[in-house]
Amino acid sequence: MNNFSKSQALQKRAQAVIPLGVNSNFRYWGEGVTPYMSKAQGAYLWDVDGNKYIDYRLAFGPIILGHAYEAVNEKVREEIELGTLAAMTSELEIEVAEKMVKMCPALDMVRFACSGTEATMHAIRVARAYTGRELILKFEGNYHGFHDYTLWSTYAPVESYGNRRSPIAVAASSGIPKVVGEKLIATLPFNDVEGFERVMKSYGHLIAAVITEPCQGNCGAILPEPGFLELIRQRTEEYGVVFILDEVKTGFRIANGGAQEYYNLKPDLTTYAKALGNGYPLAAFGGKKEIMSIIGDGVAQGGTYNNNKPGVAAAWATLTVLENEPVMKTLNERGGRLMAGIDKTLTEEGLVHSMNGYPAMFTYAIGTDKVTCQRDWNDTEKDYYLKIIDLLIERGVMPDHDAREPWFLCYSHSDEDIDDTLTAFREAVKESKK
C-alpha cells in the first residue's frame, strides 16, 4: 500500500473543522485511505505524500484539456488583472455565449451559472414557468446536482425503489422535504421504454420536464439504448413537456457539441458545467429561444458569481482550444485504445464484464455482459471492481474509488500514459485473482 502518512495527518486536522475532512461527501474514501492533494499538472496528480498518479478522475470530469493547462491559465491571468467580478456584463461573456451557441446544435440562447447544480435548478425553474406545470420526471441513477428537486433515486439502495412498473422515488439525503417526493418528482428506470410510454400516456400532460443525462455518467456510464433518447424527444414534444438534457458531464467532452451533436438530438433545454471551464467554475443552461426568452419576463434567474471572470476567461480559452485543436479526435483515439485494452485484459482473464460509455468517459462493470439501468448495475460485482481500483492506485493509476464514477480522459493523457495504464491494469487484474 502507498505511504499515506501525510494524508492521514491532514485528514485528522481537517476533520476538526470540516465534516469528514472534505468539502464534498464524494471526496471521502474512508479513514486513513483518503488521499489529500499536493498538486496537479497535465494528466498527473500528486498527493501530499509525493505519490504520483495518472489521473482518470480529473476532478469528476471538468479537466478536458489537462490540469493547469497553460492556454487556459494564461487567459485567466490576463483577464483577472482587469478585475475578477463586476455587476456588469463583459464582452468576453457574450463571446463565450456565442461560441456555445455555435458549437451546440440545440442552443439558441444561454445563461451562465457557477455549478452544474445551479444549471439544472435554473433549467427546472424555467421549464416549470414555461409549462405552468410542476412535476419533474427523472431516471433512477441519474444525478443532477445537490438541490432538493432531483436528488431522488440516485444513490439510495436500489432495493428501496419498489417495482419497476411503479417506482418509489427515494430521497438521497435526510433534509430533503418529503413533499417533493410526494408531489413534484416521478422516477423511472433508465432505458425503460415501456414504462416511459405508460407514464407519458397516463400523466404526460401533468409533467413540466423530463430531465436526463444522455448516458448515466453517475452510474457506471450506462449508455442509452438505441432510440431511447429519441423516444423522450418525441413524446415530450407530443405532450408539451420540456426535455432537459443534462450535459454537465458529456458537454464539451464526448463531442464539441456534446451528446446533442453525438446523437443528433434537439432537447428543449441543456445544462453544462464541468468541461466548459476546464476546472474553473462556470456553468450554463440554454436552449430554445422561445423558452429561454421567458427569463426576465416574470421568471427569475441570477447569481452574483454567474459572470466570474476566472470562469468566463477559462471557458473562453477552453472552447477556443476545442475549436482549433484535435481534442476530440485525440480523446477518441487514446480513450478508445484504453477501453479496448481494458476489455481485452478482462476477457483474457476470464472476467465476465461489460464496457460502458464513450472513449472520453467510460467504465466497465464486472459480473455481467450488459447493464441498461441502475437496477442491473446494482447486481454487478462492485467490490471486485474496487479491488482492482485499489491495486491500480498502488501502481500510480487513479480512477475514482467509486464504481459508479467513469474514467475520464483529457487531452494531456499521452500514448505513453495509456500504455503505462494498460500495463498496470493487467498487473492489477492478475493480482486481484490471487
Ligand X SMILES: Cc1ncc(COP(=O)(O)O)c(C=O)c1O
Q: Catalogue the active-site residues.
A: 143, 246, 274
Q: Taking CB under 6 A as the criterion, which residues in 165-184 touch ligand X?
A: none
Smallest gap, in angstroms, from Cβ of residue 225 to ligand X?
19
Q: Who's near 336: CB < 8 A, 6+ residues apart? A: 359
Grid cell in block for residue 177: 422535504
State in angstroms the smallest separation of the CB of 419 from ligand X.
29
Using the contact rule CB under 6 A, the part of the chain among 79-87, 105-113, 128-136, 141-149 near ligand X is: 141-149
Among 7, 34, 115, 307, binds ligand X (CB under 6 A): 115
- Interface region with ligand X, contact rule CB under 6 A, candidates 27-35, 83-91, 242-250, 373-381: 242-250
Residue nearest to ligand X (CB): 116
Among 36, 60, 364, 408, binds ligand X (CB under 6 A): 60
Other beta carbons within 10 angstroms of residue 302's beta carbon come to 10
Select from 249, 353, 395, 413 the one that contacts ligand X (CB under 6 A): 249
Helix and strand counts by DSSP (H, E) for the chain:
14, 14
Among 75, 144, 353, 413, binds ligand X (CB under 6 A): 144
Nearer to ligand X by Cβ, of 121 and 429: the residue is 121
Interface positions, 221-240, toward ligand X (CB under 6 A): none
Q: Which grid coordinates are listed for 170?
A: 427515494
Q: Quick check: 69 and 412 in contact, CB under 8 A?
A: yes
Q: What does each C-alpha distance from 198 to 186, 215, 330 come to in angstroms? A: 13, 22, 42
Q: Which residues contact 396 (CB under 8 A, 6 or more apart)?
A: 51, 52, 53, 54, 420, 424
CB of 114 vs ligand X, minimal distance in Å: 8
47, 55, 93, 213: which one binds ligand X (CB under 6 A): 213
Q: How far is CA 378 from each of CA 167, 174, 249, 282, rounded to the nearest angstrom?
A: 16, 22, 21, 33
Q: Which one of residues 273, 276, 295, 338 is an interface residue with ligand X (CB under 6 A)?
A: 273
Considering only 34, 191, 212, 218, the residue that binds ligand X (CB under 6 A) is 218
Query: Identity (one letter) of the amino acid at 99?
Result: K
The answer to whether 285 contacts ligand X (rule: CB under 6 A) is no
Among 248, 255, 331, 365, binds ligand X (CB under 6 A): 248
Angle ∠(293,303,140) on CA atoms, nearest 5: 75
CB 48 within 8 A of CB 6: yes
Q: How far is the CB of 26 from ligand X (least distance, A)?
A: 8
> By CB under 6 A, is residue 217 in contact with ligand X?
yes
Instruction: For residue 8, give the H/E element and its range.
Output: helix 5-15
Contact (Cβ atoms closer than 8 angstroms) between residue 104 and residue 269: no
**Contact indicator for 352, 368 with CB cutoff of 8 Å:** yes
Residue 122 lies near ligand X (rule: CB under 6 A) = no
Residue 347 is placed in which grid cell? 476477457
How long is the chain?
Answer: 434
Instruction: Count how many Cα atoms sit within 13 Å of the Cα of residue 229 in the half-sphere of its side chain.
Output: 23
Among 117, 154, 412, 421, binds ligand X (CB under 6 A): 117
Which residue, among 262, 165, 156, has the nearest Cα to 213 in the 3D structure?
A: 262
* 155 near ligand X, rule: CB under 6 A: no
> Closest by alpha carbon to 94, among 113, 111, 107, 81?
111
- Is residue 270 involved in binding ligand X (CB under 6 A)? no
> What minimum distance in Å lies between the beta carbon of 61 and ligand X?
7
Single out the segment in contact with ligand X by CB under 6 A; choices: 39-47, 126-134, 210-218, 366-374.
Answer: 210-218
Residue 268 touches ligand X, criterion: CB under 6 A:
no
Task: Write down the least CB distance from residue 115 to ligand X, Å.
Answer: 4
**Looking at beta carbons only, is 120 or 412 nearer to ligand X?**
120
Q: How far is the CB of 177 from ligand X (least distance, A)?
A: 20
Residues 289-318 binding ligand X (CB under 6 A) are none
Q: Is 357 in the site for ligand X (CB under 6 A)?
A: no
Cell of 360: 472520453
List contacts with ligand X (CB under 6 A).
60, 115-117, 120, 143-145, 213, 217-218, 246, 248-249, 273
